[in-house]
Structure 1
Amino acid sequence: MADEFHVIGSRDEYDEAVERIAGGEGPVAVDAERASGFRYSQRAYLIQLYRRGAGTFLFDPTELDGFDDLQSVIRDVEWDLHAASQDLACLREVGLDPERIFDTELAARLLGMPRVGLASVVEELLGIRLAKEHSAADWSTRPLPQPWLRYAALDVELLVDVRDELAQRLDQAGKSDIAAQEFEATIRREAKPPAAEPWRRLSGIHSLRSPRNLAVARALWQARDSLAAEVDTAPGRLIPDASILAVAKSLPESKRALADLKAFNGRASRTELDRWWSAIEEARTAAPPAARVPSDAPPPPRAWAARNPEADARLRLAKAALADVAERMDMPVENLLTPDHLRRVAWHPPAEPSAEHIAEALAALGARPWQLEATTQIIADAFVKAAQSLEDATHEAS
């Protein structure tokens, strides 16, 4: 490992790096660093790549005008990533898009490893301790300090060795095909469409009931989001969610009252006071938002017993049965089957709750073939048992 790390930001350096990477062998380890919590965008501010026989490369995507040449060189080889779903979007944004991946975090989950963070996996498999003190750093900083670059390089330099060890363990556990299906699903999974009303993601929004309170919260969120995009700063660094909720609850009657509200804080709470007050005034005359957003998702399970006892029985018995299967397969139950998929099928079961029809419903939601094979008969049996238990309870009551 080099003592000093250099960030590639010029075309000549980039071309030389691509040539060296093309001459390497085996998979490429890829990682990206963003500035979440500091910047508005989720763009990559550093892209790291390692390949045996080529070395480690740190690219500055803010200085380079594209990665087409690199993409053409590595498109057809396996990309090794840790928690790939977190990085694929920002990599695709600059034109880097894999055909095949090996996700070391996902592999660790499928193997039932108790801790699946990269540092924990590296320590367990390779006996090497990784320092993670820079994981939440502001990677938009320029120049990037050497300790940060050393940390970023280690994230990929050890990843291929980790991949090899995990692949061997998957094979020994008979889970290689399962992993392959999960990796393929990760690549093919479509990005979630933007929320129709993203302001409803405000932390604590459920505590607001009246249309007027909600209107103020919406207006302040929108004003904050507009400013955050304009100055490329994480919205919460301007004014935190808690401040928006405090204003929406107290409904200050004047700009002075807003300024005097101690719970209204943040770096832009006073410097942009006119902006916030204007948003509050606009909220007074705007059409208020609906108290609830229509959704096709089932209600929270805690409400099922009262609203739909049959669905509640189905869910409880199926969850218990799947927990047993997950334990036997030595993996988290959420990897055995996405919890939302089970909730949806339990809330709206097929007219004929057979394993075949449950498999069709789960497949339509995105469940993989191995998941269907492992779970559908178990779920079908649980649904039958739930119906029988409710029928027995009805007979006893009568």
Structure 2
Amino acid sequence: MADYTVITDAHGLGVAAALLAGGEGLVAVDVERASGFRYSQRAYLIQVFRRGAGVFLFDPPPIGDFGPLQTAIGGEEWVLHAASQDLPSLRELGLEPRVMFDTELAARLLGHARVGLGAVVEDTLGIALAKAHSAADWSTRPLPQSWLEYAALDVLHLVDVRDVLHGELEEQGKTEFAAQEFAAVLERRPKAPREEPWRRLSGLHTVRGRRSLAVARELWTAREEYAQEQDVAPGRLVPDRALVAAIMADPQTKQALAGLKEFTGRASRSQIDRWWSAIQAGRAATELPTDRARGGDTLPPPRAWADRNPEADARLKAARPVVEARADDLGMPTENLLTPELLRRVAWSPPEDVSPETIGEALRDLGAREWQIEQTAQGIADAFVTSVQEPGSVAEVAS
């Protein structure tokens, strides 16, 4: 087993940056976070590999300023796996590529049956990677040597994997598809915060009544604030199911809450005053939440379309198999050709005059890439027109 050393200071970063700047070709980058353990999504280990330079492991918290590394490699093409997961953590540190290649996304476009990093490395290079530490707490210090080897292997083969996948993209005529997808990932910015994030509480659908929902809102908020303060994943303090159990039990005293066996979690008793205060605040709230989340621009579930918007239902049912068939022809998952959400939106609110051009414009406005529009707009337009001409359709019955 190779012996890896973690770089923890500015001097080490500068030396590594100089070596990486003198390396050759593409740069492989990966990030290890502590998801499920910490509140934040910050990077707790950054791995970088470049031919002619080697593998370098960086400990972000003590280093702080990654400017020298960005200067050394920022202008090169980076190779990442599932880049959308790693880019936010990298950007927090001022690290961002000019262009990049995403091996997971490339594998999806190529129709690989398995797209996890270990599977893609094995399928392309025949090398089996142990994934024993993928769910580890990477905020642990010191990091065990076995974890460091695992982390190093995540980037050691990534450039070779990229080269194989790039060749497959060329063979299948999908190089431009991939280039547009990679650019879209780089350009994508974080979504706006949810208007009512507390409604993500697992099991909330079992809670009835606006007053009980107000208690849920206050408990979720109290846990979120404490989790952020402690930098601990909220569910490790008090699990969702425990919060819901407390809401459903409707305890009348703090002692009754403390005695509720379903109210579990490392902070369920040590912070009992916090949770009881939240319950009381919910019960005293004057602004009660609605029984259901505010609609915003969320579409109703497709199963409800036949009653609520039968024309849209007909359009969706006509276009969906067309898109699925095209994806099958291209040898890729349907959601990579066109996400179901985009198809639903254009089916729900199509342009007034349906044509490949107007459908293309609608898809473009919704964020579809040009290659996706080229592959789907004609078929969707034809399907929409057909949906109102078939015997028994809404338009046919109305006439």
Counterpart CA distance in 2 for 1:322 and 1:230 is 47
Does residue 307 of the first structure (1) align with residue 326 of the second (2)?
no
Kept in 1: contact 2:219–2:243 (CA 8 A): yes
| Per-residue CA distance 1:25-78 (angstroms, 9 max, x = gap) | 101000000000000100000000000000000000011021111111111110
Does residue 260 of the first structure (1) align with residue 224 of the second (2)?
no
Q: Which runs of 5+ in 2 are unaligned?
A: none
Counterpart CA distance in 2 for 1:394 and 1:341 is 24
Give the partner amino acid of 1:190: R
Give the partner amino acid of 1:89: P
CA drift of 1:176 comes to 0.4
1:3 alignment partner in structure 2:
2
Distance 1:395 1:42, change over 3 A: closer
Counterpart CA distance in 2 for 1:86 and 1:179 is 18
1:16 alignment partner in structure 2:
15
Kept in 2: contact 1:23–1:54 (CA 8 A): yes
Kept in 1: contact 2:74–2:97 (CA 8 A): yes
CA drift of 1:4 comes to 0.5
Q: For 1:10-89, what aligned pairs fall within 5 Å after superposition?
A: 10-89=9-88
Structure-2-length-normalised TM-score: 0.97
Distance 1:41 1:390, change over 3 A: farther
Counterpart CA distance in 2 for 1:389 and 1:4 is 69
2:217 alignment partner in structure 1:
218
Question: What is the DSSP-based 3-state SS (H/G/I as helix, E as strand, rest coil) of the residue aligned with 1:28?
Answer: strand
Give the partner amino acid of 2:362: A
CA drift of 1:326 comes to 0.3
1:296 alignment partner in structure 2:
297
Question: What is the DSSP-based 3-state SS (H/G/I as helix, E as strand, rest coil) of the residue aligned with 1:63?
Answer: helix
Counterpart CA distance in 2 for 1:115 and 1:145 is 29
Dislocated runs of 4+, deviation >4 Å: 390-398
Counterpart CA distance in 2 for 1:394 and 1:243 is 51
Q: Which runs of 5+ in 1 are unaligned?
A: none
Question: What is the DSSP-based 3-state SS (H/G/I as helix, E as strand, rest coil) of the residue aligned with 1:361?
Answer: helix
Q: For 1:368-387, what aligned pairs fall within 5 Å after superposition?
A: 368-387=369-388
Kept in 1: contact 2:388–2:396 (CA 8 A): no
Counterpart CA distance in 2 for 1:253 and 1:232 is 31
Counterpart CA distance in 1 for 2:161 and 2:194 is 37
Give the partner amino acid of 2:353: E
1:191 alignment partner in structure 2:
190
Give the partner amino acid of 1:279: A
Counterpart CA distance in 2 for 1:219 and 1:349 is 40
Counterpart CA distance in 2 for 1:246 and 1:123 is 44
Question: What is the DSSP-based 3-state SS (H/G/I as helix, E as strand, rest coil) of the residue aligned with 1:318?
Answer: helix
CA drift of 1:316 comes to 1.5
| Per-residue CA distance 1:97-128 (angstroms, 9 max, x = gap) | 11100000000000000000000001111111
Give the partner amino acid of 2:39: Y
1:203 alignment partner in structure 2:
202
Kept in 1: contact 2:390–2:396 (CA 8 A): no
Question: What is the DSSP-based 3-state SS (H/G/I as helix, E as strand, rest coil) of the residue aligned with 2:390?
Answer: helix
| Per-residue CA distance 1:140-181 (angstroms, 9 max, x = gap) | 000000000000000000100000000000001100011000
Counterpart CA distance in 1 for 2:363 and 2:298 is 15
CA drift of 1:249 comes to 2.2
Kept in 1: contact 2:214–2:289 (CA 8 A): yes
CA drift of 1:81 comes to 0.0
Give the partner amino acid of 2:161: V
Does residue 388 of the first structure (1) align with residue 398 of the second (2)?
no
Does residue 251 of the first structure (1) align with residue 242 of the second (2)?
no
CA drift of 1:250 comes to 2.4
Paired residues in the alignment total 397
2:137 alignment partner in structure 1:
138
Counterpart CA distance in 1 for 2:231 and 2:396 is 64
2:96 alignment partner in structure 1:
97
CA drift of 1:366 comes to 0.7
Give the partner amino acid of 1:159: L
CA drift of 1:335 comes to 0.3
CA drift of 1:248 comes to 1.9
Counterpart CA distance in 2 for 1:274 and 1:260 is 13
Distance 1:352 1:228, change over 3 A: same
98-107 or 351-360, larger mean C-alpha shift: 351-360
CA RMSD of aligned residues (A): 1.4
Structure-1-length-normalised TM-score: 0.97
Give the partner amino acid of 1:374: Q
Kept in 1: contact 2:310–2:394 (CA 8 A): no
| Per-residue CA distance 1:372-395 (angstroms, 9 max, x = gap) | 000001111111111113655775
CA drift of 1:310 comes to 1.2
Question: What is the DSSP-based 3-state SS (H/G/I as helix, E as strand, rest coil) of the residue aligned with 1:302?
Answer: helix
Kept in 1: contact 2:212–2:282 (CA 8 A): no
1:277 alignment partner in structure 2:
276
Question: What is the DSSP-based 3-state SS (H/G/I as helix, E as strand, rest coil) of the residue aligned with 1:275?
Answer: helix
Kept in 1: contact 2:315–2:383 (CA 8 A): yes
Give the partner amino acid of 1:221: W
Counterpart CA distance in 1 for 2:218 and 2:93 is 33
Counterpart CA distance in 2 for 1:128 and 1:337 is 32
Kept in 1: contact 2:23–2:51 (CA 8 A): yes
Kept in 2: contact 1:34–1:43 (CA 8 A): yes
Question: What is the DSSP-based 3-state SS (H/G/I as helix, E as strand, rest coil) of the residue aligned with 1:236?
Answer: helix
Give the partner amino acid of 2:323: L
Give the partner amino acid of 2:137: D
Counterpart CA distance in 2 for 1:23 and 1:394 is 67
Give the partner amino acid of 1:266: G
CA drift of 1:225 comes to 0.5
Counterpart CA distance in 1 for 2:225 and 2:389 is 55
Kept in 2: contact 1:71–1:95 (CA 8 A): yes
Question: What is the DSSP-based 3-state SS (H/G/I as helix, E as strand, rest coil) of the residue aligned with 1:389?
Answer: coil
Question: What is the DSSP-based 3-state SS (H/G/I as helix, E as strand, rest coil) of the residue aligned with 1:88?
Answer: helix
